[in-house]
Amino acid sequence: MSKQVSEIAKGKNFTAIDIGSWDGLLDYATGDNKGKLFLKDQMQSTGVEMSFQLLPAGTELPFFHAHKQNEEVYIVLKGKGQVQIDDQTFHVREGSVVRVAPGGNRSLKSADDSEMIYMVVQVKENSLSQWTMTDGVIATQTPKWLN
Ligand code: ZN
């Protein structure tokens, strides 16, 4: 059995989990895909799917894929590698952020001398109708920080 995420706290309006250190991602498995962790179910997300992936040095995803309606944003958290979208390939590294439209055929590969850890945020294309301060509401709340 693969590693399970642990819950930090849960309330009426939130879910907080701990997935552990980046290196521990290899202990998670989605089917045969070792090092891949999807979070929608654990996070009880209703509008976004998130996942983390660790590609050991010199490995690539076993397939290219596109999506039906969701765009994805790939955020490289550690290491370096390459991304190919359709027929275009480029290098990425820690700090690189790549948005891919649903129809883009994508795959990723870590460098031969570096693992690559990245996060994927998946959301319905064209679903964003308001954001930041057009959606945020300043609230009155008493701080209760822990000592
Ligand atoms: Zn995808």
90-107: per-residue pLDDT in tens?
999 999 999 999 999 999
Instruction: Give the pLDDT score at 1.
Output: 61
- Give the Å distance between the CA of 61 and the centre of ligand 1: 11
- Residue 26's contacts (CB-CB under 8 Å, 6 or more residues apart) are 34, 35, 54, 56
Which conformational region is residue 95 in: left (phi greater than 0), alpha (psi within -120 to 50 degrees), or beta? left
Query: Ligand 1 center to residue 4 CA distance, Å?
Result: 22
The residue among 28 and 115 whose pLDDT is bigger is 115
| pLDDT tens-digit map of 59-91 | 999 999 999 999 999 999 999 999 999 999 999
- SS3 string, 17-42, reads EECCCHHHHHHCEECCEECEEECHHH
- Cα of 9 vs centre of ligand 1, distance in Å, is 28
> In the chain, what are the helix, strand and coil shares in percent, each to the nearest 5?
10, 45, 45
pLDDT digits (tens, 9 = 90+) for 105-139: 999 999 999 999 999 999 999 999 999 989 999 99
- Residue 26 alpha carbon to ligand 1 centre in Å: 19
| Average predicted confidence (pLDDT) for the chain | 94
Antiparallel, parallel or unpaired: β 116-124 and 70-85: antiparallel
